[in-house]
């Protein structure tokens, strides 16, 4: 915190007056009528800074109209809409400074909580700002007699690296677009992005793991990188997407995911958890042919997801209640009750359609427990295995299973 001495201000005023008197005396002797006018104009121009203590740059910032949207990025800016007018002004100032990669710039907000809140809002609305440090607190200098501060964001990459990462991100947008069928709806777009991220990258800690740079550039990231990349791609495709930070039940580690809008309803979207082959039993996890995408975290049942993940309380979020776009609901693989013949018929239908992965889930714990008792702990899978051998003219078949207890899901891979 820098404190300004009131005597310094008095000295400045007296000094300015002395300069004016000197100019006046000189002017009367050599150039009557010109220098005094110019000096007076200069003093008048700087009077607000002299008397208020605010730099001219800050005064200019306060005069600027707050833009409702960022025309440079064209993003929806969900968190911007949750801020007060004062915070929105600081948001625009901060966004402009970071976009221009300025090392230090003024903000018309200054309190620690306010600046941190604005900073977090900017980062969560703008995944394309991958070059700025993603940290919980910020570096700034405040002034005891002024309602403003200087802000120092800090940057992670050189200009050459930024250009390279941006090109990789643009290529990713083109690759995803090429995967979409003509006339794809928003769910198909979301599913394609979900699959693309899982097939493109792996969950791995690194120097670039906290932003979309890790996904598009190094093909390695943690949850923050997956969520940022998902937001970047989905918004490119026109699907509203919100970046979310929160906590994980039973763990000290945080987590990041997304909320997307499909046909007027909000759904969770967690590509990070869709990429976890370790759910398979035994040595199956090591088999390349058994690497599969877990669609359980693409529009999961809200109550099931919320048992594990809780968003931060810093910002309010849209409520997720719908289940219509859940992968299993859309593919008739979700069952409210357990019936052996019904599950067997479903498995046979999936095998008839050429599937090597058979997966089904239950909406209740009671039904899931009953299915697990027969299909995992019992030998009900044997009839499905025999059907598979008959279908493909085989004498034997090896299969592996996986269970997602929190999602009430059972997998079989042949």
CATH number (domain holding residue 404): 3.30.1370
For residues 303 and 201, membership in a common domain is answered with yes
Domain of 139 in residue numbering reads as 80-152
Q: Is residue 71 part of a domain?
A: no
pLDDT given for residue 290 in this prediction: 47
Of 330, 351, 384, which residue is a domain's last? Answer: 330
- Average pLDDT value for residue range 274-282: 65
Query: Do the Cβ atoms of 360 and 366 come closer than 8 Å?
Result: no
Query: Do the Cβ atoms of 147 and 89 come closer than 8 Å?
Result: no
Of residues 386 and 292, more confidently modeled: 386
Q: List, in sequence order, the alpha helices (H) in 3-111.
A: 6-29, 35-52, 56-63, 85-99
Q: Is residue 100 part of a domain?
A: yes
- Average pLDDT value for residue range 251-255: 90
For residues 266 and 379, membership in a common domain is answered with no
For residues 101 and 233, membership in a common domain is answered with no
For residues 325 and 393, membership in a common domain is answered with no
For residues 285 and 399, membership in a common domain is answered with no
Q: Please give the model's pTM, rounded to 2 decimal places.
A: 0.84
For residues 400 and 281, membership in a common domain is answered with no
Collapse the DSSP code of 79 into the 3-class scheme (helix H, G, I; strand E, B; otherwise coil) and give the result. coil
For residues 241 and 320, membership in a common domain is answered with yes
Of 301, 330, 359, which residue is a domain's last? Answer: 330
| Rounded Cα gap, residues 224 and 255, in angstroms | 7
For residues 221 and 312, membership in a common domain is answered with yes
Whole-Å CA distances, 243 to 30, 76, 255: 68, 11, 11
Q: Is residue 168 part of a domain?
A: no
For residues 30 and 101, membership in a common domain is answered with no
Count of residues making up the chain: 414
Q: Is residue 63 part of a domain?
A: no
For every residue of 184-221, DSSP letters joined together read --HHHHHHHHHHHHHHH-EE---TTTTSHHIIIIISEE
For residues 219 and 288, membership in a common domain is answered with yes
pLDDT given for residue 253 in this prediction: 86
| Rounded Cα gap, residues 380 and 365, in angstroms | 19
Task: Give me the number of domains the chain comprises.
Answer: 4
For residues 206 and 323, membership in a common domain is answered with yes
| Rounded Cα gap, residues 132 and 166, in angstroms | 14
pLDDT band at 2 (very low <50, low <70, confident <90, very high): very low
The alpha carbon torsion through 112, 116, 117, 121 (nearest 10 deg) reads: 160
pLDDT given for residue 52 in this prediction: 53
pLDDT given for residue 44 in this prediction: 47
For residues 109 and 209, membership in a common domain is answered with no
């Amino acid at each position: 915190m820098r404190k300004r001495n009131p005597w310094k201000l008095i000295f400045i005023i007296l000094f300015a007056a002395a300069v004016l008197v000197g100019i006046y005396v000189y002017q009367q002797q050599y150039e009557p009528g010109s220098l005094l006018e110019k000096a007076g104009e200069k003093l008048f121009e700087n009077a607000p800074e002299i008397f208020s203590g605010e730099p001219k740059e800050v005064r200019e910032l306060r005069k600027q109209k707050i833009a409702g949207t960022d025309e440079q990025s064209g993003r929806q800016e969900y968190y911007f809409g949750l801020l007060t007018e004062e915070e929105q002004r600081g948001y625009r100032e901060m966004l402009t400074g970071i976009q221009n990669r300025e090392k230090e710039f003024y903000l018309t907000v200054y309190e620690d909580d306010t600046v941190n809140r604005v900073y977090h809002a900017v980062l969560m609305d703008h995944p394309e700002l991958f070059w700025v440090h993603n940290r919980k607190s910020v570096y700034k200098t405040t002034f005891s007699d002024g309602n403003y501060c200087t802000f120092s964001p800090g940057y992670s990459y050189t200009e050459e690296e930024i250009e390279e990462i941006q090109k990789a991100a643009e290529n990713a947008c083109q690759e995803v677009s090429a995967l979409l069928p003509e006339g794809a709806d928003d769910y198909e777009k979301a599913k394609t992005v979900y699959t693309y991220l899982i097939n493109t990258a792996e969950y791995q800690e690194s120097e670039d793991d906290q932003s979309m740079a890790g996904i598009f550039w190094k093909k390695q990231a943690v949850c923050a990188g997956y969520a940022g990349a998902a937001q970047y791609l989905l918004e490119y495709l026109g699907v509203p997407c919100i970046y979310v930070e929160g906590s994980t039940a039973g763990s000290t580690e945080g987590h990041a995911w997304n909320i997307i809008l499909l046909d007027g309803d909000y759904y969770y979207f967690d590509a990070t958890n869709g990429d976890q082959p370790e759910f398979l039993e035994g040595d199956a996890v090591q088999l390349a042919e058994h690497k599969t995408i877990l669609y359980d975290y693409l529009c999961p049942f809200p109550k099931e997801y919320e048992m594990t993940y809780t968003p931060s309380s810093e910002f309010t979020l849209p409520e997720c209640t719908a289940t219509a776009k859940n992968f299993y609901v859309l593919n008739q693989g979700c069952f409210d009750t357990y019936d052996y013949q019904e599950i067997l018929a479903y498995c046979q239908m999936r095998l008839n359609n050429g599937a090597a992965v058979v997966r089904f889930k239950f909406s209740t714990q009671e039904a899931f427990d009953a299915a697990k008792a027969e299909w995992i702990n019992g030998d009900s899978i044997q009839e499905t295995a025999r059907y598979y051998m008959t279908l493909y003219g085989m004498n034997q078949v090896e299969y592996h299973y996986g269970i997602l207890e929190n999602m009430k899901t059972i997998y079989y891979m042949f």
